[in-house]
Amino acid sequence: MSQSFVSPDQIRAWFSRAMSDMYKLEVPLYDTLMELVADVNASVLAEQPELAAQLTRTGEIERLDVERHGAIRVGTAQELSTMRRVFAVMGMQPVGYYDLSPAGVPVHSTAFRATHEASLQASPFRVFTSLLRLELIADQALREKAARILAARQIFTPRVLELTERFETQGGLSDADAREFVNEALHTFRWHSEATVSLQDYSELHGQHRLIADVVAFKGPHINHLTPRTLDIDQAQAEMPRRGIAAKAVIEGPPPRKCPILLRQTSFKALEESVLFASANGTSSAGTHTARFGEIEQRGVALTRKGRDLYDQLLDMARSRISGAPNEGNAAAYMQNLQECFATFPDDYARLREQGLAYFRYFVTEKGRAGYTGAAGESDLQSLVEQGYISYEPLVYEDFLPVSAAGIFQSNLGDKAQAEYAVDASQVAFEQALGAPVQDELALYEETQKRSIAECLQALGAAGRL
Ligand code: OOG
Ligand code: NI
C-alpha cells in the first residue's frame, strides 16, 4: 500500500496553531499578551539590526512568531503514558525530569518537545507536563477518593486513541487523518466549566492543595497557560501594567544580560473563573476556580553542564540573600542581588564558548564558501573559526528550569507559603508512569552542536583531514 504521510512536524505546527486559537477564545487576555509581545519584538528588531541579522542567520526569525509553550497537569500514570503516545504523533518526545516537590508543589514533570534542530525549526511547540503525586496527599481517605475520581475519567476521545494507534501501526497518518487527529486531540486540552465533583469534594481537595483540586476536579487536563517568546522580557514586563495586565512580581531566571542565557519568564496572574459543581440530586451549585494564566518567555543560549552548574550556584547565592521566595516586597532587592551575583558569569559569546560554558551552532562563512584551500594549520575547528572560514551562533535553550517553574506555579497558587514535601525526587517512578525514559537535554544540545560542526567541515571539504 503506498500512502503518503503528513510529517509529525507538520502535525505539531497545526496543533500548536489550533491550541493558540482555542486559548485566545478561552482566555482573551492571552490575545492581549500576544499583541504586546508582537509589538515588543517588532521594536527590538527595528532597534537592534545586529540581533535581527543573527536571528536571520540561524533561521530563528521565522519561528519567532509561532513560538510558544504550554503546560498541563495529569492525574494518573495511565494518563501520562497515553499523553506520551499522543504527543509522539506530533513528533514530541519527553525531555528532562523536573522535581517540583522541594518547592511545595506535589508534582514531577517533563517537557514534550521536538528534539532535532530541523524539527525545532519547523515548530518549536513544547508542553511542560506534570504528573500529580497522589502519594503526597497526607489524608488517606482523601487520597483514596482522589484516586477513585481520577480512575473514573477518560481524558481522551475514543477517536484520538484510534488515530494514535493507527499512527503507531502504519508509521504515520494521512492528511485527512492528521487533520482529524488535531481536532480530536484538542478536546483533551479544553477548559470545562463544569466540575466532575461536588463543591464539598472540591473544597476538601482544595484544602489539601489548590493544585490537587485543579487536577482532580475536572474532566480533563485543561491547558493552563500558553507562552509566546519575546526578544526583550524587561520591556514586556514593563508594558504589562500599561495594558492593564497584572504581572508577576519578578522575572524568573537569570538577570538581564547582553548575551541572554537559558530562559527568563514572567506571567500574569491566574484568573478567577465561574464553575458549576455537581450535586447529588442532579442540580448544580455555582463556585469559582483559579488556574489559567498567560506567560511570556525570553530564550537565550543553552548552557553546558559546566555553565549550568555555575548558573545554579549563582542563582542560589542571589536567593540566599533574601528571606523566603522572591515576592512583591523584596522584588527590587532580589533583582539587584541577581545582577551582582551574576557579574562573574561571562557576558560575551566568545568567552562563553572558550570557557565551555555554552553550546553553539557553527556556520560556513562567505569566506569559507568562496574558497577554503585546506592549507596547513587551518584545519582544526578553532583555527577555522579564527581564520574566518567558520562562524558560530548561540544554540537556543529549548527546555525549562525547575526553580523558575516552581516560581510560576506558586505565583498562581496564591501567596500562601507552601510547605516543602519531605520526599525524594523520583525519576525512576516518573519514567515508570510515563512508560519510557526521558531524554537527556544536554546530550541533545551536544548532538546538535556536533552535527553543525560536521556539516561545516563537510562543506569546506575539510572532513577527514582533522
Ligand atoms: C507549569 C509551570 C511551569 C514553566 O514555564 O516553567 C511552566 C504549570 O503551572 O503547570 O510552565
Ligand atoms: Ni510555562
DSSP 97-136: EEE-GGGT--EEEEEEE--SHHHHHH---EEEEEEE-GGG
What the block records as the C-alpha cell of 188 is 483533551
pTM score of the predicted model: 0.95
Instruction: Give CA–CA dist 460/245, Å, rounded.
Output: 51
Measure 136 CA to ligand 1 centroid, in angstroms: 19
Protein residue closest via CA to atom 1 of ligand 1 = 71
Total count of residues recorded for the chain: 466
Helix count (H) and strand count (E) of the chain?
A: 20, 12
Strand partners, 73: 130
* pLDDT reported for residue 463: 54
- What was the pLDDT predicted at 414? 64
pLDDT at 76 (0 to 100) = 98
Distance CA 371, CA 362 (A): 17
Going by alpha carbons, the residue nearest to atom 5 of ligand 1 is 405
pLDDT at 204: 94
Residues in contact with ligand 1 by the CB-under-6-Å rule are 71, 73, 128, 130, 224, 265, 295, 400, 404-405, 408-409
| 3-state DSSP assignment of residue 434 | helix
Going across the sheet that includes 284-290, the strands are: 194-198, 272-278, 284-290
Which residues, in sequence order, are CB contacts of 82 under 8 Å at separation 6+?
Answer: 155, 156, 161, 164
Ligand 2 center from residue 68 Cα (angstroms): 9
**For 130-148, b where at least 16 C-beta lie within 10 A, e where not — what string?**
bbbbbebbeeeebbebbee
Enumerate residues 6+ apart whose C-beta is below 8 A from 146.
75, 134, 137, 205, 212, 216
| Nearest alpha carbon, ligand 1 atom 4 | 405
Q: Which parts of 154-217 fold into alpha helices (H)?
A: 158-170, 175-188, 199-208, 210-216
CA distance 278 to 281: 9
Q: Which ligand is nearest to the CA of 226?
A: 2
233 contact partners, CB below 8 Å, separation of at least 6? 251, 264, 265, 266, 296, 297, 298
Cα–Cα distance between 53 and 346 in angstroms, integer? 23
Which residue of 251, 292, 400 sits with most ligand 1 atoms within 8 Å of its CB, as the best mutation to test the pocket?
A: 400
**Ligand with the closest atom to the CA of 110:** 1
User: In 380-419, which ranges are E strands?
Assistant: 390-394
29, 193 contact by CB (below 8 A): no
Which one of the ligands is nearest to 130 CA?
1
Evaluated on CA atoms 180, 182, 183, 188, the torsion sign reads positive
Per-residue confidence (pLDDT) for residue 47, from 0 to 100: 95
pLDDT score, position 462:
63
**Using CA atoms, how far apart are residues 248 and 237, in angstroms rounded to an integer?**
9
Pocket probe for ligand 1: among 225, 251, 403, the residue whose CB has the most ligand atoms within 8 Å is: 225
CA dihedral in degrees (8, 12, 14, 19; nearest 10)?
A: 150
**Closest atom of ligand 1 to CA, residue 404:** 6
For a substitution probing ligand 1, which of 409, 411, 418 has the most ligand atoms within 8 Å of its CB?
Answer: 409
Rounded Cα distance between 39 and 53, Å, is: 19
Specify the pLDDT at position 466: 47
**Residue 163 CB-density burial (10 A; 0-12 exposed, 13-18 middle, 19+ buried):** buried
Q: SS3 for 83?
A: helix
Nearest ligand to residue 74 Cα = 1
pLDDT at position 419 is: 66
**Per-block mean pLDDT, blocks of 10 residues, the chain (466 long):** 85 96 91 93 94 90 88 98 98 97 91 97 96 91 95 97 98 98 98 93 92 95 94 94 88 96 92 88 87 92 98 95 85 92 97 97 91 63 91 97 89 64 83 98 98 90 57
pLDDT at 23: 94
